[in-house]
């Protein structure tokens, strides 16, 4: 998982100061953005709403940098039909209220034509109505099933597999590992109950069972009663369906209680930062899973070079693609408005067009009148009618000696 660190102020300075130049041509024909006309030389503004602080803070700064990288590349190639692109970023703080404030500012003040980078499902759920009401496409890495069931009119594009697919693949992995009695300990979230429903169906079909299910408030600083319930249930596996701060506490308390079964959690809840913060004996054997970027793609390798010694996490790979999708959709449409971007995302990311894995080649092909099929650092980005990504590979890892070792990639 990522170790990329950048302070909130520095991240926002980078976003607000992303280099762009006015069009050399300086033409005065107009483009519609958010219902207003702008001169051809005015920049196209995209909004970024990543979690620079809060539970998603370990990921937000790198997600933002991945967005900026694509915008800088596109601007160096001449922008969108001669117009440069500007990124304006707000910190959603992994908090719905802060996310709404940031989204309102991006939409009402900055007049963004697309928004990208929301991480927590609760934030995306709160922000989404503002986006579709203002005809601003929202690109997200949130997984809750309920998000794309909202009446979003096609304005949501989710590059993260939905919760149902994620939990199904996670349950299948645990069953392959021999799990039969699982205790589901979930943070209060939009996907807690849907996760439970999938687990029950999967384990029952395989002859196992969910022996306990508890939903807890994330702000808790101790979980003695929850751990006692796990021990009484004689579970062979506990699914820690929470976030980094609470899962850190839970792992410590499970170790103290002598729990010797499997511990399984999303990779955003057990990451390298957590392994660095706890003794090895507390974390050894803990297993994680996450959608896997396309590590063999040219787009992913370019992002790796940009990040240097920092590992590229799935969210950064996805937001890298968010920016490319929005830019190429606008270029294909010849219009930087939100509706035009929405209507052209599938046109440039699926079909029989020329395969491209970077925004420069995509812009060049579109300018030459050729159809394209963009496949990025997170893999193919084909969306179904609800805006969900059609599929991806998953990576399963186990903690050993303070590091992660690969168990499966499928």
Rounded percentage of the chain residues whose pLDDT exceeds 70:
90
- Are 105 and 134 in contact by the 8 Å Cβ rule? The answer is no
Tokens standing for residue 87: 């990124």
Distance CA 217, CA 203 (A): 26
Tokens standing for residue 346: 């599938």
Res. 171: pLDDT tops 50: yes
Which domains can be identified in the chain, with CATH numbers?
8-162+295-380 (3.40.50.2300), 163-290+393-409 (3.40.50.2300)
User: Around Cβ 305, how many Cβ atoms within 10 Å?
Assistant: 9
Distance CA 213, CA 192 (A): 10
**What are the strands, taking DSSP E only, across 85-188?**
85-89, 114-118, 138-140, 156-158, 181-187
Of 348, 344, 341, 331, nearest to 79 (Cα)? Answer: 331
- 304-360 pLDDT tens trace: 999 998 889 999 999 999 999 999 999 999 999 999 999 999 999 998 999 999 999
Res. 10: pLDDT tops 60: no
Lowest model confidence (mean pLDDT) among 19-28, 124-133, 162-171, 365-374: 19-28
> In the structure, what pLDDT confidence band is assigned to residue 5 with cuts at 50, 70 and 90?
very low
In the numeric block, the tokens 């990025």 are attached to 376
Tokens standing for residue 69: 């990288």
- Are 30 and 72 in contact by the 8 Å Cβ rule? The answer is no
Distance CA 73, CA 287 (A): 37
- 21-76 pLDDT tens trace: 322 223 223 333 333 333 457 899 999 999 999 999 999 999 999 999 999 999 99
pTM of the model: 0.83
Three-class secondary structure assignment of 274-320: HHHHCCHHHHCCCEEEEECCCCCCHHHHHHHHHHCCCCCCHHHHHHH
Distance CA 76, CA 21 (A): 9
Q: How many Å separate Cα 38 from the centre of its chain?
A: 31
Strand partners, 388: 158
In the numeric block, the tokens 């300018």 are attached to 367
Of 387, 312, 409, nearest to 142 (Cα)? Answer: 387
Measured distance between the N- and C-terminal CA atoms of the chain, rounded to whole angstroms:
18
* b/e map 367-390, b = 16+ CB within 10 Å: eeeeebbbbbbbbbbebeeebbbe
Distance CA 42, CA 50 (A): 25
């Amino acid at each position: 998982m990522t170790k990329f660190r950048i302070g909130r102020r520095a991240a926002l300075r980078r976003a607000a100061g992303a280099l762009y130049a006015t069009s050399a041509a300086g033409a005065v024909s107009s483009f519609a953005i958010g219902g207003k006309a702008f001169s051809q030389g005015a920049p196209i503004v995209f909004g970024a709403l990543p979690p620079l602080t809060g539970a998603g803070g370990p990921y937000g700064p790198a997600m933002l940098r991945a967005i900026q990288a694509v915008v800088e590349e596109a601007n160096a190639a001449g922008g969108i039909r001669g117009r440069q692109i500007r990124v304006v970023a707000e910190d959603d703080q992994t908090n719905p209220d802060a996310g709404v404030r940031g989204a309102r500012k991006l939409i009402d003040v900055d007049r963004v034509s697309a928004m990208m980078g929301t991480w927590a499902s609760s934030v995306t759920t709160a922000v989404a109505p503002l986006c579709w009401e203002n005809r601003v496409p929202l690109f997200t890495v949130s997984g809750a099933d309920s998000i794309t069931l909202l009446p979003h009119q096609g304005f949501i594009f989710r590059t993260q597999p939905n919760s149902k697919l994620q939990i199904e693949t996670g349950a299948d992995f645990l069953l392959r590992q021999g799990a039969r009695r699982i205790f589901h300990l979930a943070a209060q979230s939009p996907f807690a109950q849907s996760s439970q429903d999938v687990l029950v169906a999967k384990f029952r079909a395989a002859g196992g069972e969910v022996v306990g299910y508890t939903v807890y408030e994330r702000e808790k600083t101790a979980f003695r009663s929850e751990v006692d319930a796990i021990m009484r249930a004689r579970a062979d596996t506990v699914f820690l369906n929470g976030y980094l701060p609470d899962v850190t506490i839970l792992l410590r308390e499970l170790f103290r209680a002598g729990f010797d079964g499997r511990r399984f959690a999303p990779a955003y809840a057990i990451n390298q930062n957590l392994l660095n913060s706890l003794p090895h004996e507390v974390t050894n054997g803990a297993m994680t899973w996450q959608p896997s970027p396309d590590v063999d793609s040219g787009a992913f390798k370019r992002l790796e070079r940009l990040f240097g010694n920092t590992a590229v996490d799935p969210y950064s790979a996805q937001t890298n693609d968010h920016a490319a999708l929005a830019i190429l959709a606008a270029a294909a449409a010849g219009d930087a408005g939100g509706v035009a971007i929405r209507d052209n995302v599938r046109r440039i990311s699926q079909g029989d067009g020329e395969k491209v894995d970077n925004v420069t080649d995509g812009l060049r092909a579109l300018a030459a009148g050729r159809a394209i099929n963009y496949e990025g650092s997170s893999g193919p980005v084909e969306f179904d009618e609800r805006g969900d990504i059609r599929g991806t590979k998953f990576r399963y890892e186990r903690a050993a000696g303070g590091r992660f070792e690969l168990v499966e990639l499928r």
